[in-house]
């Protein structure tokens, strides 16, 4: 009885037995039995259903630069994740990040800015209208996706803190919390994860700070609550669960540069002509496809970003 009264409020309309069914006694009984069984077993299920992964974000306007290519399914985007803070296996973060706490969340902004400080995430997000940007994502492991991100330009965000004329680079840091992030208990990488951009890359209108995908709040395994998205660079530049943004005079040393200086450079621009030292970058497998397709220069954003690298030897500055 207790179980029944506890859950009647959450019964979806589809579960309410209609009159015709009600008259069919046998089926009515089996439906009721199934509902009761579901209600008994459901607390866990309901909990996952109620996590913020399902929360829709309001007032999203379509943004520029959207690709019309077929979007990767929500299921695939949220179950195939490189998030070493949780696990080096791609199917694990979805499970291990389930109870990751993203509220309260604060972000420290410091370095070469006139308005440094530690801010609550809600206060940081409030002034920014949300946009949907459908971008290609190209992983350094030669697979790719098309993801409808929800976010806003990093440029608009950074301007609020008034970067000084000395600010040449932006350095981002992920949360360090081995208790919540089991992957950080092993020294696979030098935690916390650090990434960086040149100032002009950070201020480019393609560069996003994201808080969601597919119109919903960013799932934990995808880098909640705040994630960088730089679509013309390899996926590992898109740092997740950001707690610190520091503007610097010198080029930040990113985690992957530390882990393998021969293999991962500061720029990490998608470039089919420059192979990873160990594997080819000329083609990629779009998730959902069986066969590979050619990789595009700057992941297909050459028109927008190629000028940033005029005169730069991309073979040396990989």
Partner 1 sequence: MVMPSKWPIYTTAWTCGAISDPDMSASRWPHYSLKPLVFLLCLLPLIALIYSGFRDQLGANPVEAISQSTGSWTLRLLLLTLTVTPLRRISGWSGIVRIRRMLGLFTFFYACLHFLTYLIFDQSFDLQEIIKDVSKHPYVTVGFTAFLLLIPLAITSTNNMIRRLGRRWRQLHQCVYIIATLGVLHYLWLVKKDLRTPLIYATLLLVLLIYRAWHRRRLSS
Closest CB 294 distance from partner 1, rounded Å: 11
Report if residue 188 touches partner 1, rule: CB under 8 A.
yes
Report if residue 285 touches partner 1, rule: CB under 8 A.
yes
Of residues 261, 279, 312, 317, which one binds partner 1 by CB under 8 A?
Answer: 279
User: What CA–CA distance (Å, rounded) separates 221 from 69?
Assistant: 24
Of residues 26, 61, 75, 316, which one binds partner 1 by CB under 8 A?
Answer: 75
User: What CA–CA distance (Å, rounded) separates 249 from 196?
Assistant: 12
Smaller CB distance to partner 1: residue 70 or 259? Answer: 259
Residue 221 tokens read as 């395994």
Question: Longest Cα pair distance anywhere in the chain, in angstroms?
Answer: 79
Mark the segment that binds partner 1 (CB under 8 A) among 36-44, 113-121, 165-173, 278-286.
278-286
User: What CA–CA distance (Å, rounded) separates 122 from 154?
Assistant: 16
Of residues 44, 58, 68, 290, which one binds partner 1 by CB under 8 A?
Answer: 290
Closest CB 280 distance from partner 1, rounded Å: 6
Cα torsion angle, 206, 83, 126, 67, sign: positive
Q: Are strands 293-294 and 283-286 parallel, antiparallel or unpaired?
A: antiparallel
What phi-psi label fits residue 219: left (phi over 0), alpha (psi between -120 and 50 degrees) or beta?
beta
Report if residue 141 touches partner 1, rule: CB under 8 A.
yes
Of residues 20, 291, 307, 316, which one binds partner 1 by CB under 8 A?
Answer: 291
- Could you check whether the bond before residue 225 is cis, i.e. omega within 30 degrees of 0? yes
Residue 210 tokens read as 């994201």
Smaller CB distance to partner 1: residue 203 or 287? Answer: 287
Contact (Cβ atoms closer than 8 angstroms) between residue 61 and residue 131: yes
Smaller CB distance to partner 1: residue 63 or 223? Answer: 223
Closest CB 88 distance from partner 1, rounded Å: 4
Of residues 84, 161, 191, 232, which one binds partner 1 by CB under 8 A?
Answer: 84
Q: Name the burial class of residue 254, with classes exposed (0-12), middle (13-18) and buried (19+) by CB atoms within 10 angstroms of its CB.
A: buried
Report if residue 189 touches partner 1, rule: CB under 8 A.
yes
Closest CB 279 distance from partner 1, rounded Å: 6
Closest CB 235 distance from partner 1, rounded Å: 12
Task: Put the strands of the sheet holding 242-248 in their side by side order.
Answer: 117-120, 106-111, 242-248, 169-174, 194-198
Binders of partner 1 in range 228-267 (CB under 8 A):
259-260
Interface residues with partner 1 (CB under 8 A)? 75-76, 79-80, 84, 88, 90-91, 141, 143, 188-189, 259-260, 275, 278-280, 285, 287-288, 290-292
């Amino acid at each position: 009885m207790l179980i029944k009264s506890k859950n009647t409020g959450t019964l979806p309309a589809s579960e309410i037995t209609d009159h015709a069914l009600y008259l069919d006694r046998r089926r009515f009984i089996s439906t009721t039995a199934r509902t009761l069984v579901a209600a008994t077993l459901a607390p866990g299920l309901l909990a996952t259903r109620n996590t913020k992964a399902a929360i829709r974000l309001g007032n999203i306007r379509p943004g520029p630069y959207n690709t019309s290519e077929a979007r990767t399914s929500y299921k695939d985007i949220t179950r195939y994740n490189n998030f070493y803070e949780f696990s080096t296996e791609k199917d694990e973060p979805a499970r291990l990040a389930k109870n990751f706490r993203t509220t309260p969340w604060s972000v420290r902004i410091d370095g070469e800015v006139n308005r440094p400080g530690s801010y609550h995430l809600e206060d940081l997000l409030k002034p920014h209208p949300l946009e949907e940007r459908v971008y290609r994502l190209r992983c350094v492991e030669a697979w790719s996706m098309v993801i409808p991100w929800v976010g806003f330009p990093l440029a608009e965000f950074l301007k609020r803190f008034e970067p000084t004329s000395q600010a040449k680079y932006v350095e981002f840091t992920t949360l360090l919390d081995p208790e919540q992030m089991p992957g950080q208990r092993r020294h696979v990488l030098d935690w916390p994860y650090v990434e960086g951009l040149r100032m002009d890359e950070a201020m480019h209108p393609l560069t996003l700070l994201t808080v969601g995908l597919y119109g919903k709040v960013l799932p934990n395994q995808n880098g909640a609550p705040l994630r960088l998205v730089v679509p013309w660079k390899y996926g590992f530049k898109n740092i997740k669960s950001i707690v610190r943004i520091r503007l610097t005079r010198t080029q930040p040393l990113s985690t992957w540069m530390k882990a393998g200086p021969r293999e991962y450079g500061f720029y990490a621009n998608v470039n089919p002509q420059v192979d990873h030292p160990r594997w080819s970058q000329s083609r990629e497998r779009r998730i959902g496809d069986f066969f590979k397709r050619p990789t595009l220069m700057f992941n297909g954003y050459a028109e927008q970003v190629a000028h940033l690298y005029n005169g730069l030897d991309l073979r040396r500055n990989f």
